[in-house]
């Protein structure tokens, strides 16, 4: 990562813009992204209608009335310069443990993915849960967190034909990312296990256990424990 | 009286496109929640303003039409947006006008003759609990409305009765009109530089047709293929309402209110909020044309529109 936190500012709409802060995703770039998100929310208050952090950029959506592009660019550049003069940001996100039952009755693609990489299922599972992942973005559906990055031995392309229905809680791999489906939906990720905990609940506070910048550690659990926690086995 | 509730409306006939909406849900896009809200924001605001409501009071967005309600309260309603037959106890009444309603009255909305979405507002707004700051129904997320669902036959919507309200109307020439070809002002943004001059020229010159795969998430268009100059590796980034996303097959999709919050397709730019209101009234098969504008032009037009609405609101307050 360069020592220039701000690579560019791009227009996004008549009242929104993108701040680009890196060329490749990294823990350092993610730390900067999260720090900027918090600072800008504080700085602009209700003028900033929404902020979407993802991988390399922040999308800043302003109230239409308060969007003046040129002055905003100058101000954002100044804020970024000030940030650079401080010690580099460190990831201060939560560490969240998520239980996962890896099994053929929770992960319909477990055997195939293991065979693809010429690994035993045990080794595949070990590789998947021995890595701590960072939340690089949340999207696709409420609470769907993109986690990076899985060990190189288990990079796995998406299914050529997505499934009509992936069960809630499904833990999947797509290329070098992994994620948990918070709700049932169509999906093309390779499903190797299931997390029995709710990952998005509009009536809970907080709404979801993780945010962008947090660290997720998967913890393998047995089938009995999974069912005790309310997990649902995979049925087609 | 035969066990019917008082102080609200019964939906006698409804369907999946009849949804409670307001101006959207904000501040939660970072959790993957879309903004939702009325697709034609101006028509929704005008419906509320006719009744003296806050611009974002909860109202009904009715796609296509074919909805009827029974009033169980004395109140006022107003209908704006698409041209749909509007009947009060079987008698045609005007759109863009305050209509006095008595308990027991029947309100029927027929099928759209022009446009796609109408907005039915009631004095004081429908009384519905908010989810994360908004009543906006997002079916895909199961959030907002009544239990995250569209309105169904037999649903009950509570209101505060309203005895007197000034009768207001918007002159016909000030109401939005529907054209054979809808012009979409768009702003170069996002990955504009990734598109060749030729691709941008095509986007600006060709007529595009709305496909049947259009919905509240976005309008899928078909026409000439728009190609990305260099298929660069792209990491997903936030998406805003109006973004023109070019899919792998080169066809544009314009994001509407229920758009996904992040995505990894290249976007040459974004349709203006005012043009989105017009796009939200286009049905599958309609023709649209993209007209490239600069930020100054689009902002000036938006300011004029806000001033017009503010002036209208002020005039209506004084009569």
- A–B interface: beta-carbon pairs under 8 A: 126
Same domain for B191 and B113?
Answer: no
Report the candidate in B257, B310, B287, B288 with the shortest Cα–Cα distance to residue B61.
B257
On whether residue B105 sits in a domain, the answer given is yes
CA–CA separation, B59 vs B75, rounded Å? 14
What six digits make up the tokens of B3?
């066990």
CA distances from B64 to A40, A175, B126, B205, B269 (A): 41, 41, 21, 30, 29
Please state, for a pLDDT cut of 90, what percent of chain A lies above it.
86
Summarised one tens digit per residue, pLDDT across range A199-235 is: 999 888 889 999 999 999 999 999 999 999 999 999 8
Which of B156, B174, B192 is the last residue before a domain boundary?
A: B174
On whether residue B60 sits in a domain, the answer given is yes
Residue A2: pLDDT over 50: no
Set of chain B residues whose Cβ sits within 8 Å of the Cβ of A67: 299
Set of chain B residues whose Cβ sits within 8 Å of the Cβ of A55: 235-237
Give the number of domains in chain B. Answer: 2
Which of A22, A56, A84 is the last residue before a domain boundary?
A: A84
**Domain encompassing residue B284:** 181-301
A133: domain CATH number is: 2.40.100.10
Which of A32, A59, A84 is the last residue before a domain boundary?
A: A84
A41: domain CATH number is: 3.30.1360.40
CA–CA separation, B119 vs B59, rounded Å? 7
How distant is the Cα of B240 from the closest Cα of chain A, in angstroms?
A: 7
Same domain for B189 and B154?
Answer: no
CB atoms within 10 A of CB B197: 8
Same domain for A102 and A217?
Answer: yes
How distant is the Cα of A224 from the closest Cα of chain B, in angstroms?
A: 31
Same domain for B164 and B231?
Answer: no
Set of chain B residues whose Cβ sits within 8 Å of the Cβ of A21: none
Q: Using CB atoms, which residue from A18, A144, A212 is nearest to B237?
A: A18
Same domain for A192 and A101?
Answer: yes
On whether residue A1 sits in a domain, the answer given is no
On whether residue A2 sits in a domain, the answer given is no
Contact A137 B299 (CB under 8 A): no
Q: Which of A9, A11, A13 to mutate to test the interface with B (most CBs of B within 10 A)?
A: A13
Q: Which of B34, B188, B235 to mutate to test the interface with A (most CBs of A within 10 A)?
A: B235
Same domain for B43 and B167?
Answer: yes
Q: Using CB atoms, which residue from B26, B243, B260 is nearest to A49?
A: B26
pLDDT of residue A4: 58
Same domain for B89 and B167?
Answer: yes
Same domain for B201 and B252?
Answer: yes
Single pTM value for the model: 0.95
Same domain for B28 and B124?
Answer: yes
Summarised one tens digit per residue, pLDDT across range A74-124 is: 999 999 888 878 887 788 889 999 999 999 999 999 999 999 999 999 999
Q: Using CB atoms, which residue from A15, A50, A69 is nearest to B29?
A: A50
Given CB atoms, is B32 within the 8 Å cutoff of chain A? yes
pLDDT of residue B2: 59
Same domain for A138 and A76?
Answer: no
A206: cis peptide before it, omega within 30°? yes
B244: domain CATH number is: 2.40.100.10
Q: What is the ipTM of this complex?
A: 0.95
On whether residue B189 sits in a domain, the answer given is yes
How large is the average pLDDT for residues B18-45? 97
What six digits make up the tokens of B42?
């101006």
Which of A33, A64, A84 is the last residue before a domain boundary?
A: A84
Same domain for A172 and A63?
Answer: no
Summarised one tens digit per residue, pLDDT across range B234-289 is: 899 999 999 999 988 899 999 999 999 999 999 999 999 999 999 999 999 999 99
On whether residue A90 sits in a domain, the answer given is no
CB atoms within 10 A of CB B260: 19
Q: Which of B30, B135, B232, B234 to mutate to test the interface with A (most CBs of A within 10 A)?
A: B30
């Amino acid at each position: 990562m360069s020592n220039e936190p701000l690579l560019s500012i791009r227009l996004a709409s008549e009242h929104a813009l993108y701040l680009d802060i890196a060329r490749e995703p990294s823990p350092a770039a993610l730390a900067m992204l999260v720090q900027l998100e918090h600072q800008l929310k504080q700085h602009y208050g209700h003028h900033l209608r929404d902020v979407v952090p993802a991988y390399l950029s922040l999308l800043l959506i302003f109230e239409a009335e308060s969007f003046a592009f040129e002055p905003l660019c100058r101000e954002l550049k100044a804020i970024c310069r000030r940030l650079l003069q401080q010690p580099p940001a460190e990831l201060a996100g939560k560490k969240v443990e998520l239980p996962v039952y890896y099994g053929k009755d929770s992960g319909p693609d477990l055997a195939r993915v293991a065979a693809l990489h010429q690994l035993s299922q045990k080794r595949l599972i070990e590789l998947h849960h021995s890595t701590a992942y960072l939340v690089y973005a949340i999207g696709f559906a409420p609470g769907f967190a993109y986690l990076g990055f899985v060990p190189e031995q288990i990079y796995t392309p998406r299914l050529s034909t997505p499934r009509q229905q992936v069960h809630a809680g499904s833990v999947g791999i797509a290329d070098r990312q992994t994620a948990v489906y918070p709700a049932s939906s169509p999906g093309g990720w390779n499903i190797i296990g299931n997390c029995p905990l709710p990952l998005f609940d509009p009536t809970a506070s907080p709404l979801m256990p993780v945010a962008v910048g947090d660290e997720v550690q998967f913890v393998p659990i047995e089938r009995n424990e999974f069912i005790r926690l309310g997990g649902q086995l995979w049925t087609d | 009286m035969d066990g019917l509730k008082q102080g609200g409306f019964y939906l006698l006939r409804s369907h999946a496109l009849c949804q409670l909406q307001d101006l959207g849900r904000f501040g939660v896009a970072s959790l993957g929640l879309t903004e939702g809200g009325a697709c034609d924001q101006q028509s929704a605001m005008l419906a509320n303003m006719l009744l003296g409501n806050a611009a974002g009071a909860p109202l009904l967005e009715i796609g296509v039409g074919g909805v009827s309600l029974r009033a169980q309260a004395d109140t006022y309603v107003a209908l704006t947006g698409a041209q749909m037959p509007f009947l009060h106890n079987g008698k045609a009444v005007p759109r863009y006008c305050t209509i006095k309603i008595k308990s027991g009255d029947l309100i029927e909305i027929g099928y759209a003759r022009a446009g796609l979405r109408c907005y039915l507002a009631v004095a004081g707004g429908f009384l519905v609990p908010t989810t994360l700051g908004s009543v906006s129904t997002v079916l895909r997320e199961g959030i907002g409305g009544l239990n995250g669902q569209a309105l169904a036959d037999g649903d009950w919507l509570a209101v505060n009765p309203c005895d007197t309200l000034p009768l207001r109307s918007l002159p016909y020439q000030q109401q939005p009109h529907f054209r054979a070809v809808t012009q979409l002002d768009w702003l170069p943004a996002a990955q504009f530089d990734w598109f060749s001059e030729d691709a941008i020229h095509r986007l600006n010159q060709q007529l595009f047709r709305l496909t049947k795969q259009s919905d509240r998430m976005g309008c899928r268009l078909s026409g000439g293929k728009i190609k990305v100059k260099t298929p660069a590796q792209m990491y997903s980034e936030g998406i805003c309402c109006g973004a023109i996303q070019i899919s792998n097959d080169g066809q544009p999709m314009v994001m509407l209110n229920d758009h996904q919050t992040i995505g990894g397709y290249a976007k040459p730019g974004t349709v203006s909020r005012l043009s989105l209101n017009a796009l939200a009234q286009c049905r599958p098969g309609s023709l649209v044309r993209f007209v490239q504008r600069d930020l100054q032009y689009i902002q000036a037009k938006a300011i004029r529109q806000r001033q017009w609405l503010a002036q209208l609101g002020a005039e209506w307050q004084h009569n």
